[in-house]
Amino acid sequence: MTRPGLWRLTAVFTWIGLASLGGGRSAYFHDALVARRGWLRDEEFLQDLALSQVMPGPNFSNLAVGLGYRLRGYPGAACALVALVLPGTAIFLALALFLRHGLTADATHALLGMGAAVVGLIFVMTGRILRVGLRGRTALVLAAGTFLAVGPLRLPTYAAIAAMVVLGCWLNRPRASEALTPRDAP
């Protein structure tokens, strides 16, 4: 398993950050680091993907940090974060501020159309994730409760998360039958 230098890591992560448009962004990492370059094994990638989903904070940058740490320790994590966030944010900020100041009537209509299309797209993408990710009645109850609270009911997100974490940890509590996996058995 070859591991890249810091320079190479930064260059590749910058490229991933710039190339990752639209949904399914973590797939770009898998393609670039596992499939294309062989820097990481599938198992390592999946471990970091799970970590990025459990940790608070933006998933995509957390995944970059986990992978960067694995490849090059703390310097790798720092380079990965900057490489992923900075170029895209600079481009986005310039464009967003330009559109905000230079909005003609035509641009407003175009942006209205694009905003509506984004809703259609994220509806489909989110639907796909929910279809594969929501397994079992417990997951369905937790997701539906969270959705109702933060969506139609407009309750604060921290309140919804707090209530659902308590409910979820109780519903998903370790059972005696599951605790004795072969690895834990004496």
Residues 8-67 that bind another protein (CB under 8 A): 17-23, 25, 47-48, 50-62, 65-66
* List of long-range contacts for 71-76, beta carbons under 8 Å, 24+ apart: 71/3, 71/4, 71/9, 71/39, 71/40, 72/3, 72/4, 72/5, 72/6, 72/9, 75/6, 76/6, 76/9
Among 12, 13, 29, 168, binds another protein (CB under 8 A): 168
Query: Which tokens is 163 given?
Result: 């209530």
What 8-state DSSP symbol labels residue 40? Answer: S
Closer Cβ to another protein, 35 or 169, answer by number: 169
Closer Cβ to another protein, 5 or 157, answer by number: 157
Taking the complex as a whole, the smallest distance from the CB of residue 8 to another protein amounts, in Å, to 19
Taking the complex as a whole, the smallest distance from the CB of residue 10 to another protein amounts, in Å, to 15
Q: Is 4 in the site for another protein (CB under 8 A)?
A: no
CB 110 within 8 A of CB 88: no
Binding mask 113-132 for another protein (x = CB under 8 A): xxxxxxxxxxxxxx--xx--
DSSP string for residues in 44-58 = HHHHHHHHHHHSSS-
Closer Cβ to another protein, 5 or 172, answer by number: 172
Site for another protein in 75-114 (CB under 8 A): 77, 81, 84-85, 87-89, 91-93, 95-97, 99-100, 105-106, 108-114
Taking the complex as a whole, the smallest distance from the CB of residue 120 to another protein amounts, in Å, to 3
CA triple 165-119-146, angle to 5 deg: 15
Taking the complex as a whole, the smallest distance from the CB of residue 39 to another protein amounts, in Å, to 16
Half-sphere exposure of 72 (CA within 13 A, CB side): 19
